[in-house]
A and B are shown apart, each in its own frame.
Chain A
Amino acid sequence: MKWFWYASPQTFYPLAGTIARGCGFAAALLAAAGLYIGFFVAPTDAQQGEVYRIIFIHVPAAWMSMFIYVVMAFWAALGLALNTRLSAMMAAALAPTGALFTFIALWTGSLWGKPTWGTYWVWDARLTSELILLFLYFGFIALRAAIEDPRRADRAAALLAIVGVVNVPIIYYSVQWWNTLHQGASVSLTRAPSMAKAMLAGMIVMALAFWLYSIAVSLVRVRCMIRESA
Chain B
Amino acid sequence: MSDVYIWGSYAVTFALLAAEIALLVRRSRRAEEGNRGGP
* A positions within 8 Å CB-CB of B: 9-10, 13, 49-51, 53-54, 57-58, 61, 96-97, 100, 103-104, 107-108, 111-112, 114-115, 213, 217, 220-221, 223-224, 226-228, 230
Q: A100-B16, A104-B12, A230-B37 are in contact. List 20 more A-B contacts (CB 8 A).
A: A9-B39, A10-B39, A49-B2, A50-B2, A50-B3, A53-B6, A54-B6, A54-B9, A97-B20, A108-B9, A111-B8, A115-B2, A213-B17, A217-B20, A220-B24, A221-B24, A223-B39, A224-B28, A228-B34, A228-B35
Chief secondary structure at chain B's binding surface: helix
Set of chain A residues within 8 Å of B5, measured between Cβ atoms: 51, 54, 111-112, 114-115
Question: By the criterion CB–CB under 8 Å, are A220 and B2 in contact?
Answer: no
Question: By the criterion CB–CB under 8 Å, are A57 and B2 in contact?
Answer: no
The residue on B at minimum CB distance from A54 is: B9
Interface pairs A-B: 10 shortest CB-CB: A227-B31, A51-B2, A108-B9, A111-B5, A13-B39, A224-B31, A54-B9, A226-B39, A230-B39, A111-B9
User: How many residues of chain B are within 8 Å of chain A by beta carbon?
Assistant: 24
Set of chain A residues within 8 Å of B6, measured between Cβ atoms: 50-51, 53-54
Set of chain B residues within 8 Å of A224, measured between Cβ atoms: 24, 27-28, 31
Contact of A228 among B1, B31, B37, B38 (CB under 8 A): B31
Q: List 15 A-B contacts (CB under 8 A).
A: A10-B39, A49-B2, A61-B13, A103-B16, A104-B13, A104-B16, A108-B12, A112-B9, A115-B2, A221-B27, A223-B39, A227-B34, A227-B35, A228-B31, A230-B38
Chief secondary structure at chain A's binding surface: helix
Produce 1/0 per residue, B13-34, CB < 8 A to A: 1001100110010011001101
What is the CA–CA distance of A150 and B12 in the complex, to the nearest angstrom? 34
The residue on B at minimum CB distance from A225 is: B31
What is the CA–CA distance of A51 and B2 in the complex, to the nearest angstrom? 5
